[in-house]
């Protein structure tokens, strides 16, 4: 390997090394781990600025000791309540009620739907509503997380409902009953936009798209636009039921879509869970969006339960930090930036909106 010389100005020589010889061509994108060179403020937030309700979490613990440790952790970060989206009914839901019973004020359980017989029994909703009501008596406060990534509703236990989407006429009695019982419905529709694009050199989310992809060549699968439409149809057709579109309804690439839905349907909210990596690269746009729709957005995590995860969510929401990376947490090589949200917005996002949502739903 021979060095070469660039002549920049008379009397000034810069010696540079042929970087190809250093192995740059052999570096794989999956191993790319840039580190910020900027000596700028770095904020570590060890407790949220205001009390928090995490509206999107799951059953992450396996023992009473792990449960006790989780409570200590959320105490440290100012999270006064965590909503567990169990997706479950029947014996599975009952077991989770027992599991989290030691901390009734710290964990709130939401159940799923039982789709048993949905494909061939025209009266399946009678049983489904009975199970919904039973779960409510056991302590369920809402429904979720329902999930449809194109082939139908499939997150729930013990039965999945492939081929049936949230706006299917068969779902209407069940969704209507949710409204009557004062139980909000949390639903995941579609996926992030890069999952629908070719995993090639033009894909902005390639580091994730190489592993996670939606294959639209399957029979009867809905694309992202069609799935957002099923959400809109269900929200419009069930004005007495409150819906929470989790993950910004997977419209983080074009939040004007979600904004239009907010402007049109007062019974729609969205949680921000697991979309911090997707939104922190565009902080000015996001801050404006949070301010405009400050009454409709809900704090959530959906990323396990550990110190670094909680710290990162609060850092993005509260600080004005710039150009930092969280590749191992989010999977992207995009630099991230804090939103520096106002106190008024943070209070609503962290707890006031979910409290208002549940109070309004109960009055319907």
Instruction: Find the range with the poorest average confidence among 5-19, 21-35, 94-108.
Output: 5-19
Q: Is 62 helix (H, G, I), strand (E, B) or coil?
A: coil
Tokens coding 2: 């021979």
Of 319, 328, 228, 224, nearest to 280 by C-alpha is 319
Mean pLDDT of 113-127: 94
pTM of the model: 0.92
Q: Kindly list the distances between the CA atom of residue 74 and the CA atoms of 68, 113, 140, 255, 299, in Å, as whole numbers in the listed order.
A: 10, 29, 21, 30, 14
Residue 31's pLDDT is what?
Answer: 82
The span from the CA of 229 to the CA of 189, in Å, is 10
Tokens coding 79: 């999270």
Q: Could you tell me if 45 and 318 are in contact, meaning their C-beta atoms sit under 8 angstroms apart?
A: yes
Number of H helices, E strands in the chain: 13, 12
Is the pLDDT at 10 greater than 60, yes or no?
no
Mean pLDDT of 40-52: 96
Say how far residue 106 (Cα) sits from the centre of its chain. 20
Query: HSE-up of 308 (CA within 13 Å, CB side)?
Result: 6
Q: Would you give the DSSP letter of residue 20?
A: G
Mean pLDDT of 123-134: 96
Over the stretch 341-357, which tens digit does the pLDDT of each residue have? 999 999 999 999 999 99
Of residues 56 and 21, more confidently modeled:
56
Is the pLDDT at 9 greater than 90, yes or no?
no
Q: Is 108 helix (H, G, I), strand (E, B) or coil?
A: strand
DSSP conformation letters of 154-190: ---SS--EET--TT-GGGHHHHHHHHHHT--EEEEES
Over the stretch 149-178, which tens digit does the pLDDT of each residue have? 999 999 877 788 999 999 999 999 999 999
Average pLDDT across the chain, whole number:
91
Over the stretch 249-280, which tens digit does the pLDDT of each residue have? 999 999 999 999 999 999 999 999 999 999 99
The span from the CA of 221 to the CA of 198, in Å, is 17
Beta strand pairing call for 4-9 and 12-16: antiparallel
Of residues 50 and 202, more confidently modeled:
50
Is the C-alpha dihedral spanning 30, 31, 32, 38 positive or negative? positive
315 contact partners, CB below 8 Å, separation of at least 6: 43, 44, 45, 321, 338
Is the pLDDT at 5 greater than 80, yes or no?
no
Mean pLDDT of 18-25: 58
Place of tokens 């060179």: 37
Residue 364's pLDDT is what?
Answer: 65
Q: Would you give the DSSP letter of residue 302?
A: -
Q: Would you give the DSSP letter of residue 140?
A: -
Residue 6's pLDDT is what?
Answer: 42
- Does the structural domain 41-363 have CATH classification 3.20.20.140? yes
- In 192-246, where do the E strands start and end? 243-245
The span from the CA of 315 to the CA of 304, in Å, is 17
DSSP conformation letters of 193-228: GGGGS-SSTT-TTHHHHTT----TTSTT---HHHHH
Mean pLDDT of 202-220: 81
Over the stretch 134-153, which tens digit does the pLDDT of each residue have? 999 999 999 999 999 999 99
Q: Is 2 helix (H, G, I), strand (E, B) or coil?
A: coil
Of residues 19 and 301, more confidently modeled:
301
Return the CA Rg of the chain: 23
Beta bridge partners of 185: 143, 243
Is the link from the previous residue into 145 a cis peptide, with omega within 30 of 0? yes
The rounded percent of the chain whose pLDDT value lies above 90 is 77
Over the stretch 58-90, which tens digit does the pLDDT of each residue have? 999 999 999 999 999 999 999 999 999 999 999
The span from the CA of 277 to the CA of 204, in Å, is 13
Exposed e or buried b per residue across 98-120, where buried means at least 16 C-beta atoms within 10 angstroms of its C-beta: ebbeeeeebbbbbbbbbbbebee
Residue 84's pLDDT is what?
Answer: 98
């Amino acid at each position: 390997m021979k060095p070469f010389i660039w002549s920049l100005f008379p009397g000034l020589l810069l010696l540079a090394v042929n970087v190809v010889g250093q192995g740059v061509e052999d570096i794989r994108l999956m191993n790319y781990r840039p580190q910020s060179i900027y000596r700028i403020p770095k904020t570590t937030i060890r407790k949220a600025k205001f009390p928090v309700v995490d509206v999107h979490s799951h059953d992450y613990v396996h023992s009473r000791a792990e449960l006790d440790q989780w409570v200590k952790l959320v105490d440290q970060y100012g999270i006064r309540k965590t909503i567990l989206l169990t997706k479950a009914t029947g014996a599975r839901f009952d077991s989770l009620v027992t599991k989290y019973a030691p901390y009734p004020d710290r964990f709130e359980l939401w159940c799923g739907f039982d789709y048993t017989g949905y494909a061939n029994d025209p009266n399946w909703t009678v049983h489904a509503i009975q199970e919904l009501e039973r779960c409510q008596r056991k302590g369920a406060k809402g429904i979720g997380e329902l999930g449809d990534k194109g082939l139908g509703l499939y997150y729930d236990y013990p039965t999945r409902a492939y081929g049936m989407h949230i706006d299917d006429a068969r779902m209407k009695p069940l969704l209507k009953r949710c409204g009557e019982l004062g139980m909000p419905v949390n639903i995941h529709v579609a996926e992030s936009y890069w999952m629908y694009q070719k995993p090639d050199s033009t894909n902005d989310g390639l580091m994730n798209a190489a592993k996670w992809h939606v294959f639209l060549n399957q029979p009867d699968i809905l694309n992202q636009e069609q799935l957002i439409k099923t959400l809109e149809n269900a929200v419009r057709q069930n004005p007495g039921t409150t819906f929470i579109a989790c993950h910004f309804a997977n419209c983080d690439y074009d939040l004007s879509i979600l904004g239009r839905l907010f402007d049109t349907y007062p019974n729609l909210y969205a949680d921000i869970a697991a979309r911090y990596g997707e939104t922190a690269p565009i902080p000015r746009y996001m801050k404006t969006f949070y301010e405009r729709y400050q009454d409709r957005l809900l704090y959530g995590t959906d990323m396990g339960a550990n110190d670094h995860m909680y710290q990162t969510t609060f850092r993005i929401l509260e600080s004005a930090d710039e150009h930092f990376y969280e590749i191992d947490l989010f999977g992207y090589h995009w630099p991230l930036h804090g939103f520096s949200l106002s106190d008024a917005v943070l209070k609503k996002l962290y707890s006031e909106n979910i409290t208002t949502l549940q109070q309004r739903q109960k009055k319907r």
